[in-house]
Structure formats: C-alpha cells, structure tokens
Copies of this chain bind each other. A is one copy, B any other.
Amino acid sequence: MSSFSTRLYSAIQEKKTPALVGLDPRLAMLPAGMIAGGEKASWEEKANGFRQFCCEVVDVVAPLVPAVKPQVAFFEQLGSAGMAALADVIHYARAKGLLVVVDGKRNDIGSTAEAYADAFLAGEQSAWHGDALTVSPYLGADSLDPFVKVCREHESGIFILVKTSNPGGGMLQDLVADGKPIYQHVADYVERIALETAVDNGAIENGAEKNGYGSIGAVVGATYPEQLVELREKMPHTWFLVPGFGSQGGTAADVAAAFDPSGQGAIINNSRGILFAYTKEPYREKFGEARWQEAVHAATCDMIEQLRAETPAGNL
C-alpha cells in the first residue's frame, strides 16, 4: 500500500483522466427490470437492484476512470439491506482496481468522529472499506482530527467540504469574517493539514515536491469557477473533489482551473449524467434503456474527451 494521495495520483496517471463516476442509484431512474418486484419491491429486492446496477456500472467504467464515488444517502434510504449493498459495491469496485471515495459527508464531535472514521477509513477492519470519505467541517478542527489520524494510520483520505456546488451553499460559506469568506477559513485549515500529510507521505521530500499532494482534500463545486481559480492558488497541496459537472450545470471549461498545469490535483465527478445517460440525448436515441450500459460507456468517454480537450487533463 501507499498513501491515498499517491494511489490517486498514480491511478489518474495510468487512466490518463481525472474523471470520477458518482454511484447515485436513484430508485426512480434505474433502468426498467433492474428491481425484481417493481414498485412493490422489498428493501432487500431494491438493495439487490442497487447492487446489480452499481456493479454493472463499475464493470463499464473500471477500465476508463481512476475512481468511483458511491453516495451513501441512496443506500441508506434502503435500510441495513441498502448498507450491505453499499459494502458489496465498494468491495467490488476496489477489486476491479478502482479507488473508492465514499460520499457520506459525515462528522461529529471528537470521540464520535472516531467511530465514523473507523467505519469507513480504517482499511480491512472497516465495515465500508473506502479509500476516502467526504467530511463536513461545521464542528471545527477537533472533529476533523480523528479522521486525519485514521487517514495517517491506514493510508486513506478525506475530502472536507469547502465550497459546495449547490445554489444555497453560500448561505454560510460566503459570509465574510476577518476579511475572507468562511469557505476560505476552511480552505486554509485544509491546506495546512494537506501539506503536513504531503510531507509525511513523501509527496514532498527534502523540500522537493514529487507529486506534491497530501491525503486531505477539499470539495469545491464546479458551479463556482472563480472560486476554483482562487482556491487552486491558495491550496497547492490539496486534492480537489469537484462535484457539479454535468447535471448540475458545470462544464469542462468551468473546471479547468481545478488542475495544476500537469493535469493533476483534481477529480471531477459526474453522477446522473453518466449513470442515467440513457434518459438523455444524444444517448437516448442511440442506445435507449435496453442498452443503458453502452450509454454509460459513451457518456464516460465523452466526459473524458471534454476534460482532455478543455482542461490541463489533456497533459496527462
């Protein structure tokens, strides 16, 4: 094993793309027949459908992208059966050579945060053995420390919410205190810890930067391109997880600023735009529902191509 940062860097280098496929199995959007029992299906049947759907997506995208991002909320909606399916999907994706960023936006005060870190980030002993987890910062540094500690011990990573992609994210994040918005206060904290972990994991050695990134990352939405520019500059050792590409309106041009000149430093997420490509043109007419897997493949390739054409990811 090597640090999460090193694994992510290598995987991006190998696949030559920073595209991240979000596994959001929305019940109402799954291809017909995916769930035995249809609308009256039990949670177990629905969870089986989620498992099958996500594993088929993994089969399609594993040769194409470095990582996937399962969204816990959709699995949690199906109770413990859904959470068992999530564990299987994570396991399956890792076995196929993908890195897994678990999108749970967890957090709590210190001794309770330890339990969340243990659930997702502690390697083989974790119930949901992800490579990384998304984490919320509202409770402050001492709620984040336990995650950082477990990441150091188990070579896993976290992405801390800094500037989110939703329209209302600014309610708190854009308030200005001590001359800068709240999201920059979070950003300063994240960059400091990212730098520490970059030194620890050998990304910076004897002052010389190798890949230069730590295992503590930031979530920065594709829907705020100006903030991406500003934060990339302020956070040179921090991986960015960039949601909002595709269905939320972010374009390849919008996310160009998330990268360093070599095309590293960011992973760009697309969930609905890939999973449910079969519901939208040009994929709907070409593949239709029956060939939804081919639509997933085509939409993933198109995203990779757009990122190559319009961002530094072309230099990978």
Which residues on A are within 8 Å of B, measured CB to CB? 24, 43, 71, 73-74, 76-84, 87, 103, 105-110, 112-113, 115-116, 118-119, 127-128, 136-143, 161, 164-173, 175-178, 182, 185-186, 189, 243
Contact = CB atoms under 8 A, between A and B. Distances in A.
A79 B125 CA distance: 10
Contacts of A43: 127
Given A84-B80, A105-B107, A115-B77, A168 B140 contact: yes
A73 B171 contact: no
A80 B80 contact: yes
Contacts of A171: 137, 140-141, 185, 189
- In this complex, the member of A24, A119, A172, A186 whose beta carbon has the largest number of chain B beta carbons within 10 angstroms is A172
A115 B73 contact: yes
A263 B112 CA distance: 30
A127 B77 contact: yes
8 contacts: A73-B113, A77-B115, A77-B118, A78-B127, A105-B139, A136-B138, A137-B172, A175-B177
A189 B78 CA distance: 31
Given A77-B115, A138-B161, A172-B172, 5 more contacts: A80-B87, A105-B107, A137-B171, A139-B168, A140-B168
A139 B73 contact: no
A103 B78 CA distance: 18
A163 to B, nearest CB: 10
A111 to B, nearest CB: 8
A286 B32 CA distance: 63
Given A83-B83, A87-B80, A166 B140 contact: yes
B143 A79 contact: no
Given A142-B168, A172-B182, A182-B172, A79 B73 contact: no
Given A79-B128, A80-B127, A142 B167 contact: yes
A191 B128 CA distance: 37
B140 A173 contact: yes
Contact of A136 (B80, B105, B115, B118): B105
Contact of A109 (B139, B166, B186): B166
Nearest to A111: B26
A300 B118 CA distance: 30
A71 B105 contact: no
A81 B79 CA distance: 11
A172 B187 CA distance: 12
Nearest to A120: B76
A97 to B, nearest CB: 23
> Which 9 A-B residue pairs are closest in the complex by CB-CB distance?
A79-B127, A142-B168, A140-B171, A175-B177, A140-B168, A80-B84, A73-B115, A109-B166, A80-B83
- In this complex, the member of A165, A177, A185, A189 whose beta carbon has the largest number of chain B beta carbons within 10 angstroms is A177
A265 B221 CA distance: 38
